[in-house]
């Protein structure tokens, strides 16, 4: 009877090992996906970060990159801990899983909270940023972001094209007679911003605030979904780790 019980325990351990190994393979790929989303946000979608007053959007992306790197390293550690059947490695693996779980939950919560606050932040700050920093010394990033924003989303000004009347650059002699930046034009040529007729600029298409808000909210949904989704998957990994740890402890005795 004891021999049967021992065989059953060994069989259970082997099953748990392969379950945990399969999880680690998926987990490693998930870590790659998490890191890719973070890098994608930072490298390709960060043009408009200079237009945001809060650093929350940037913080969520950095958290995902860090979590993704740690996930990939942890996946390798998990495979070693599983096949070497070392309980001390399993304990370390479980702790790392818990840390990553918390990081991704934090990223998801930050994304959700910022999602709710984004409209108020843009309404309070976007117009001032565009009118006071556009084409001003030391704010080249804002100038580039505003030009790209207006061209990519076919908009002009924060709320509408008349916002540019309050621009420090437009009021200065440096604007060269322009009433809006050239990036407001439907076809950008030098000094095209001198004429603000609807046939020449994005005048009736509306301001940029709503379009920028929609753009960022879409990316916050991706960040939040990835963070929360991977965190939920990790719960199974922690359960498998605990089961294998307990199984090895029973076999040891």
| Sequential DSSP letters for 22-86 | HHHHHHHHHHHHHHHHHHHHHHTS-TTGGG-S-SHHHHHHHHHHHHHHHHHHHHHHHHHHHHHT-
Q: What is the pLDDT of residue 5?
A: 42
**Who contacts 223 (Cβ-Cβ below 8 Å, separation ≥6)?**
37, 41, 60, 61, 64, 107, 108, 111
Q: Are 35 and 75 in contact (CB under 8 A)?
A: no
Give the pLDDT confidence of 86-131 residue by residue, as tens digits.
Answer: 777 778 878 888 887 887 788 778 778 877 887 788 888 888 989 9
Residue ranges of domains in the chain? 102-231
Q: Which CATH superfamily is domain 102-231 in?
A: Tetraspanin (1.10.1450.10)
* Dihedral, 200, 133, 58, 42 alpha carbons, nearest 10: 50
Mean pLDDT of all residues belonging to the chain = 79
Q: Which of 183, 184, 189 is nearest to 201 (CA)?
A: 184
Give the pLDDT confidence of 37-55 residue by residue, as tens digits.
Answer: 788 777 766 677 778 777 7
Q: How much of the chain exceeds pLDDT 70, in percent?
A: 85
Beta-strand (E) ranges in 64-188? Answer: none
Neighbour-count burial of 197, counting CB atoms closer than 10 A to its CB (0-12 exposed, 13-18 middle, 19+ buried): exposed
Give the pLDDT confidence of 157-208 residue by residue, as tens digits.
Answer: 999 999 999 999 998 878 889 999 999 999 999 999 999 898 999 988 888 9
Q: What is the pLDDT of residue 11?
A: 57
Neighbour-count burial of 131, counting CB atoms closer than 10 A to its CB (0-12 exposed, 13-18 middle, 19+ buried): buried
């Amino acid at each position: 009877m004891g021999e049967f019980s021992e065989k059953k325990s060994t069989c259970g351990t082997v099953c748990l090992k392969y379950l945990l190994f399969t999880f680690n393979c998926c987990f490693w790929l998930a870590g790659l996906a998490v890191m890719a989303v973070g890098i994608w946000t930072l490298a390709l979608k960060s043009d408009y970060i200079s237009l945001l007053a809060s650093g929350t959007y940037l913080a969520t992306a950095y958290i995902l990159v860090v979590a993704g790197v740690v996930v990939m390293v942890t996946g390798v550690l998990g495979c070693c801990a599983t096949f070497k059947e070392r309980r001390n490695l399993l304990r370390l693996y479980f702790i790392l899983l818990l840390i990553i779980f918390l990081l991704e939950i934090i990223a998801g919560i930050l994304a959700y909270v910022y999602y709710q606050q984004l409209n108020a932040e843009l309404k309070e700050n976007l117009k001032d940023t565009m009118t006071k920093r556009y084409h001003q010394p030391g704010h080249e990033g804002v100038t580039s972001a505003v030009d790209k924003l207006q061209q990519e989303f076919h908009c002009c000004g924060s709320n509408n094209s008349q916002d540019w009347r309050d621009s420090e650059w437009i009021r200065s002699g440096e604007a060269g007679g322009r009433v809006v930046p050239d990036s407001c034009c439907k076809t950008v040529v030098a000094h095209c911003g001198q004429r603000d007729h609807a046939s020449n600029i994005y005048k009736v298409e509306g301001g940029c605030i709503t379009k920028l808000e929609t753009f960022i909210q879409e990316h916050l949904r991706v960040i939040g979904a990835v963070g929360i989704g991977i965190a939920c998957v990790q719960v199974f990994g922690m359960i498998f780790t605990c089961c294998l740890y307990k199984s090895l402890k029973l076999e040891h005795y």
